[in-house]
């Protein structure tokens, strides 16, 4: 059952479980941030350690996150970057990408690629012909230039 289907059918607990499965490391980080060290240890032991046995690359992340417990001043520790807001942003991006992939959508927005293709197409056409061209990407106004590069007046009569 995917996240979207779980939410749409009202099975919020399953949806939350599926989301937590995407990046359980963040949940562990938040428990440590809150000072819930006993709960963090239980979560790591019960939820994360079994995954580490199945996926050795996951075990390295678990060990790195658990290292936060070894320091009194977690923010200034060698792994303190896990507590910075950028870590939450990283997790949010991973979650968004996973949900989009789960819904058979692309994880990256299409507009930047479409604009790159349009710019490339215009460069190719510049060598061959005169045509209505987008010169200001913010306004997206079409501009027609003559052979000398002067802007031609638009014919607004249809």
Ordered by start, the domain boundaries in the chain are 3-103, 110-144
User: Considering only CA atoms, which of 19, 22, 40, 21 is closest in space to residue 30?
Assistant: 40
Residue 32 CA to residue 69 CA, distance in Å, equals: 7
How would residue 120 be classed by pLDDT, with cut points 50, 70 and 90? Answer: very high
The larger pLDDT score, comparing residue 98 to residue 88, is at 88
Task: Measure the CA–CA gap between 47 and 24, rounded to whole angstroms.
Answer: 8
Cα–Cα distance list, 125 to 93, 97, 131, 141 (Å): 37, 35, 8, 17
Is 144:154 a contact under the CB 8 Å cutoff? yes
pLDDT at 155: 53
Residue 127 DSSP one-character state: T
pLDDT digits (tens, 9 = 90+) for 34-55: 889 999 999 888 888 887 777 7
Q: What is the pLDDT of residue 38?
A: 93
Beta strands in 2-158 (DSSP E): 133-136, 141-143
Write down the pLDDT at residue 158: 44
- The length of the chain, given as a count of residues: 158
pLDDT of residue 1: 47
């Amino acid at each position: 059952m995917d996240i979207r289907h779980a939410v749409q059918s009202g099975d919020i607990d399953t949806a939350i479980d599926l989301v937590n499965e995407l990046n359980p490391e963040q949940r562990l980080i938040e428990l440590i941030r809150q000072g819930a060290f006993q709960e963090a240890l239980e979560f790591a032991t019960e939820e994360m350690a079994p995954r580490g046995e199945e996926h050795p690359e996951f075990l390295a992340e678990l060990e790195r996150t658990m290292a936060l417990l070894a320091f009194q001043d977690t923010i200034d520790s060698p792994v303190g970057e896990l507590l910075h807001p950028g870590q939450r942003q990283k997790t949010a991006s991973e979650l968004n990408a996973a949900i989009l992939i789960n819904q058979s959508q692309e994880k990256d927005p299409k507009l930047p690629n479409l604009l790159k293709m349009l710019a490339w197409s215009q460069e190719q056409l510049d060598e061959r012909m005169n045509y209505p061209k987008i010169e200001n990407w913010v306004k997206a106004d079409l501009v027609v230039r003559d052979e000398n590069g002067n802007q031609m007046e638009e014919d607004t009569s249809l």
